[in-house]
Structure 1
Amino acid sequence: MEYADFDLEDFLKDASFKHWVYAPTPETDAFWRQFLHRYPEKQQLVDNARMVLRSIDDAVMQDYPDEEQVGRMFRTIQERIQPAPVRRIPINWRWLAAASLLLGLGLWVYQKNRLPTQYEQLIDQSATALLEKSNPSDRPLTVRLPDRSTVLLQPNSRISFARHFGQQSKREVYLTGEAFFQVTKNPDKPFFVYADELVTKVLGTSFWIKAVEAGKQVVVQVKTGKVSVFARTDSRANAMRANRELEGVVLTPNQQLAFSRDEVRMKKSLVAEPEPIQAQSFAFKDTPVSRIFSTLEEAYGIDIVYDEELLGNCLLTASLTDEPLFDKLTLLCKGIEGHYEVVDAQIVITAKGCQ
């Protein structure tokens, strides 16, 4: 392999390169100056390799193992860490030092070449100093923000926010992972959550955001109130951030928006299991279907679309207290010989009608 094809690991293993780093001569200096003049794109890689080598103890690097020695070294270490009740095997500290060196180099190369996540890019671009809260545990962590808003931070999730949060004209939080927000209402200072590709804007409400780095989707789900969601790359994003009104895709309780990373597409729908947002009685006796549907709309905050003229004469008797919403709808549709479907976060009822 020629030096033009070398990567960082190749340079670190090459004896001639190491000799130039540790004991340069006029001849080696001339050779590498000529090489970099011919391949200027390798300058950064060469500089990185030299920095790594110079940071390593000279005593270890004098016996830096070649590829065959590395293989033998790891096999030997593997054998020596097996239980040995009969005799004690002396440890070759130079080999262990070399193994640690290889592991450290591998981690350094990974960190150096890893692209920053969108969360890291966002916090790097912030014009204000930020505080970060993380949850490395296996249980949810409650984070209380200075404006009395709370964030239920799920395991392996992080948020960042301004050190002087709430003192600016807007409240901004950066999220990676999953969290449930309960935002203190303040129309004069809108609340923004930046989660990967999406921006969620609220005035005061509660909602979930799921933005796991390895996931295929970013999902926003509303529990109470209203939120607006738009893509950071939207040409109107700056205007929507500055406007006091809720623009973009507006979500209400039991609605969600899913952004597909593969398809770069947003889809609005209902959550998988809608929950009542206000108490209602679901016991009906000879009740017009229109009144039953109105009761469900008020209880769940979801629009139910149907032909009022066609179903105007339908009367039903039912007790639907404990069933989830979609089970309620299934039972009601059986009573009117119809069916339902979810279309754009609405429930559409289709039926033949009643005589």
Structure 2
Amino acid sequence: MKDASEHKVPYELIAKYLANEADAAEKQQLLAWMAEHEEVFEELLQIWELAEGAGQQPAVDTGAAWNQLQNRLKGQPPTGIQQDQTRAGQRPLWRIMRLVAAVLLLALLGASLWWLLPGTANELQQLASGEEVRELQLPDGSRVSLNAHSKLSYPARFQPDQRLVKLEGEAFFEVEADPDRPFVVEATQLRVKVLGTSFQVSALPTADTLSVVVESGQVEVEVMPQQQQGRKQSARLLQPGQQLRYVASSQQLLPVAPPNPNYLFWKTGELRLRGMRLQEAVNTLEKLFHTSISLDAALNDCRVSTGFDPGARIDYVLETLARTMKFELIKEADGYRLQATAASCR
């Protein structure tokens, strides 16, 4: 059963109808909503019964209540209930206020008691990726790509006021927009808050440097209060194409411009080296392929002019660079060595 907090319940429209103030178009709007959200209606009745004390009163017949409310919206008389003797369109003020108060209370209960039903928000789920990249869809429809050796914790149901997840490692998020419930990622020492966007967070438990890269939308990044140690830092707002790096040892938030184009290599397998200095390309390859590459200083400023298809292996990449840039590639026990020749970089 889906909980009411995951849907936009038209409490004001329900209250207007119960107060006999809804016009024909509004009645049709409410009827259309009910047709698509029967489970939500039943859940609201269960929450109401829970608040009233389910053990002291007969169980709510949700099927009968559902049919009765539909009949009333269609203009048919309710079954099993005596007709109101008050002239149509003129309900006593006390009754209108009671009905509106009931709906408002139901809305409050829907926001505050929904986790008491089966499948509570307190049930934390955990996904550990192990040796592979894992894909996950969260309860709100947001999607997560979790890099190898990473872990994500999230609730079975998100709270009504926010969608909080906790990350150890590296992940790319594609967040479903919901202005009423910001999406929050807590990653060791950083807190990242968004409404609807796509971005990457890198927060390896043993790393001194954490980073956030934004692909679309806006992202707010701040150092978690318990990590600031008396050094108050304002939250930073990132736009698409921007990256922010946090150095834990110095407690500094530093902009990175421009971000390394290979920050999503672990997810897409696409290697982007064209136009880089060879020194920068070697540093990138060492990080992406977890290997050691020794570079002759004479090759540092040579520019890479070759592109690679997704999934290219490190041996193929280095052999291609050696052939096009005319340097000698030497395979060593602990990695590779790139040695300049007289024809290098010409």
TM bucket, shorter chain: 0.3 to 0.5
TM-score, normalized by length of structure 2? Answer: 0.38
TM-score, normalized by length of structure 1? Answer: 0.37
| Structure showing greater Rg | 1
